[in-house]
Chains A and B, each alone.
Chain A
Amino acid sequence: MSEENDETKASDEQQEMEETVISPEKSEEAKLKARYPNLGAKPGGSDFLRKRLQKGGQKYFDSGDYNMAKAKMKNKQLPSAPAEKTEITGGHIPTPQDLPHRKTSMVTSKLAG
């Protein structure tokens, strides 16, 4: 009787040891979940894919809003263009200064230099 208990105890210990040896991937996952507890339960699912399908993201533009904002801004100082390409949605009316500069083409590649 006691022998059986010893055996099961030994195998339990061994199982515990195996479980504590977590794969590097799983420990990385634990790290990520600790930093972002709200991360979706479904990994690599629709959120990722939809983000991928959208790629650059939509830039909303309403000519009416734009013209009204332009009229308002005549008195105010023009805001400086943001350092990075931020998503322009909602209350912020895009102005030519805000939008990322669409460069003109015809500049020869430096590979050909």
Chain B
Amino acid sequence: FAGVAGGNDFQWCFSQVKGAIDEDVAEADIISTVEFNYSGELLATGDKGGRVVIFQHEQESKNRPHLRGEYNVYSTFQSHEPEFDYLKSLEIEEKINKIRWLPQQNAAHFLLSTNDKTIKLWKISERDKRAEGYNLKDEDGRVRDPFRITSLRVPVLMPMDLMVEASPRRIFANAHTYHINSISVNSDHETYLSADDLRINLWHLEITDRSFNIVDIKPANMEELTEVITAAECHPHQCNVFVYSSSKGTIRLCDMREAALCDRHSKFFEEPEDPSSRSFFSEIISSISDVKFSHSGRYMMTRDYLSVKVWDLNMENRPVETYQVHEYLRSKLCSLYENDCIFDKFECCWNGSDSAIMTGSYNNFFRMFDRNTRRDITLEASRESSKPRATLKPRKVSTGGKRKKDEISVDSLDFNKKILHTAWHPKDNVIAVAATNNLYIFQDKIN
């Protein structure tokens, strides 16, 4: 399984870009989540307008020999609508915070999508046949005059153009007072967890009127609130284990066998901090915006504002690897605080073999780290480098006084071009990168 660096071993190239080119981006079009399904055949995106678009990978055709085949639109639907909570005078955004696929069990595909308050289970199924020759209605669907019916016939199934239908099968509502930040399907394929700022609930996929509260960190007196839950995930193999991260940069691993309410953690992961280096920004930049288990289940990765850390589940006192995403921003924290960028929530992801990790940055840059070679690369998702099969050129931010040619200075970075959401195909070297309202798909160059 390939690494990330340039040179003669490995290179990324452009494959496709989805979305409008126009400069004026409607807020509804901003992509808020990206997720491949278990096989990588399907790629789902959610946006601020509450819509889900699913792309399907189509095999390479002989006529147009692309490197690996393309992703084309498979289905699109409105998942969530804006709502208003009249009791609390609060608007409920329709923005899709997360999409998580269920493992495929039959011909249909299932996914969970969530906004701030409600989780929905969607079934996406194909229809390629329809019945013709009904007795009681004619081909247009109009009811036939019963007195005109003189004979009986058996309807016949005829092929039709493929139709992909999405229907909401379950709606899991009214279980979260605060804003849902994570959902995660359990390895038992029966349950899933949903986490908001202060609580985590465990659901059964078949049951919508009940859920178990498994973590509650709400203090009796809200004045005593010191941290919130920022992300949560189920262990990929152990159905009794899950983790949740906090705004203070800590991760708690909980075992559901120990107690019904997992307020007491089984493991507590925190990197010791040098008290002399503490500043006003320390806690804010240590807040973990994403936590992801490795596919192996042995490690987990956390993303805070400036770095990505890999933790060994067997070692709680410090991470085993730390990767700097954009350390040059440390001397810009004041302005990043003023323009709220310091609160941006970046996600991170593993490749299929856990040998590489990827996360986004500003200026439409994204970073990849090879855990074995320790090499890293910065690439850019831009229309300029969007020629078919064009190799992506590594980018560099100049930090010192002298700026080399092709480098970009920190002050020239566009902080409105944030790459918060990226996804890596579970098996191949194909990645999906969301750049505001555009979805880029890159793949490795087959030499």
Contact = CB atoms under 8 A, between A and B. Distances in A.
A28 B281 contact: yes
A11 B176 CA distance: 58
Interface in A60-86: 60-61
A105 B49 contact: yes
B228 A112 contact: no
Chain B, interface size category, equals 35 or more
28 contacts: A25-B282, A28-B331, A28-B332, A29-B280, A29-B333, A29-B334, A32-B280, A32-B333, A32-B338, A33-B280, A44-B282, A49-B225, A52-B228, A53-B178, A53-B197, A55-B179, A56-B90, A59-B91, A60-B89, A103-B82, A107-B49, A109-B29, A109-B47, A109-B76, A111-B18, A111-B31, A111-B53, A112-B76
B148 interface: no
B364 interface: no
Contact of B279 (A26, A49, A52, A61): A26
Contacts of A46: 222-223, 225-226
B337 interface: yes
Interface in B314-332: 330-332
Given A105-B50, A111-B19, A25 B90 contact: no
Nearest to A108: B76
Interface of A: 23-29, 31-33, 35, 39, 43-46, 48-50, 52-53, 55-56, 58-61, 102-103, 105-113
Nearest to A43: B280
B34 to A, nearest CB: 11
B90 A28 contact: no
Contacts, number: 121
A28 B333 contact: yes
Nearest to B74: A112
Going nearest first, the 10 A-B pairs with the smallest beta carbon separation are: A44-B283, A24-B331, A28-B333, A112-B76, A110-B20, A31-B334, A28-B334, A43-B280, A29-B279, A29-B280
A111 B294 CA distance: 30
B371 to A, nearest CB: 27
B209 interface: no
A61 B116 CA distance: 22
B339 interface: no
B89 A106 contact: no
Nearest to A34: B334
Given A24-B331, A24-B333, A27-B331, 14 more contacts: A25-B281, A25-B282, A31-B334, A32-B280, A50-B225, A53-B198, A58-B90, A103-B28, A105-B82, A106-B78, A110-B29, A111-B19, A111-B29, A111-B53
